[in-house]
Structure 1
Amino acid sequence: MTTQHTSGSTAAPTKIVTTATGRILRVNVDEAGVPLSTGTPVAPAAASPAIADPARRADVLFRVRRAEGHELSAWWMIGAFVVTSGLVILLLSGVPGIA
């Protein structure tokens, strides 16, 4: 993982691009939004189009980005923890030799 070091108080402007494989890239851009050349060849934009929402890719099975107000309640996770803990305690109470 690389970090961006600057000598001033503001960082260089960047643009976040998601490739077709789901890789998230940070690209340095100038004030007009044109990518700066870094000495490495740039692939054409048609070969790797940016995806608007990586969670909606076809190969992502269980990750879903829901609309505002339709998030899963935290109480479901708390309840699942309590039920799982109770089940483990219940099962372990039948094991002989445990104090």
Structure 2
Amino acid sequence: MATQHTGGAPAARTKIVTTNTGRILRVNLDEASAPGEAAPGAPAPAAPAVVVTDPARRADVLFRKRRDEGHELSSWWMIGAFVVTSGLVILLLSGVPGVA
């Protein structure tokens, strides 16, 4: 028989926010309140939350680069790279003896 878990701290109040770039953020309403006012029953935050202005500039993101509007890499470059790589593989494999 399953029982409902009723012990422990209640879940924090959150709100889902979509940024201009389409990124979906979960904002804790207790931390997002004004610094002078505290939520009822909640302790005051010790330090302000760190705000990341651009997710592509985070330290754990290695090869992603946020480009300006209109300067994104065209998808045709990726299609062309696939065609060239496929042709090179076929060309190299045509020299292997014993392949039908």
* TM-score scaled by length of structure 1: 0.56
Q: SS of the residue aligned with 1:14?
A: strand
CA RMSD of aligned residues (A): 3.4
CA 1:75/1:56 → structure 2, altered by over 3 Å: closer, same or farther? same
Which structure has more relative contact order (CA 8 Å, sep 6+)? It is 1
Give the match's secondary structure for 1:85: helix
Determine what percentage of the aligned residue pairs are the same residue: 70
Pair 1:25–1:70, CA change in 2 (3 A): closer
State the Cα distance separating 1:43 from its structure 2 match.
Answer: 6.1
- Listed as ranges, the matches of 1:1-99 within 5 Å are 14-15=15-16, 26-29=26-29, 34=33, 44-46=46-48, 48-99=49-100
- Which structure 2 residue ranges, 5 or more long, are not aligned? 1-12, 18-23, 34-38
Amino acid of the structure 2 residue aligned with 1:95: V
Length-normalised TM-score, structure 2: 0.55
- How many residues align? The count is 74
Instruction: Summarize the Cα distance change of 1:13–1:49 in structure 2 as closer, same or farther, 3 Å threshold.
Output: closer
SS at match of 1:63: coil
Q: Deviations over 1:12-42 (max 9, x none)?
A: 86156xxxxxxx9623438xx53xx8xxx88
- Structure 1 stretches lacking a partner, 5+ long: 1-11, 17-23
Structure 1 residue runs of 4 or more that deviate by more than 6 Å after TM superposition: none
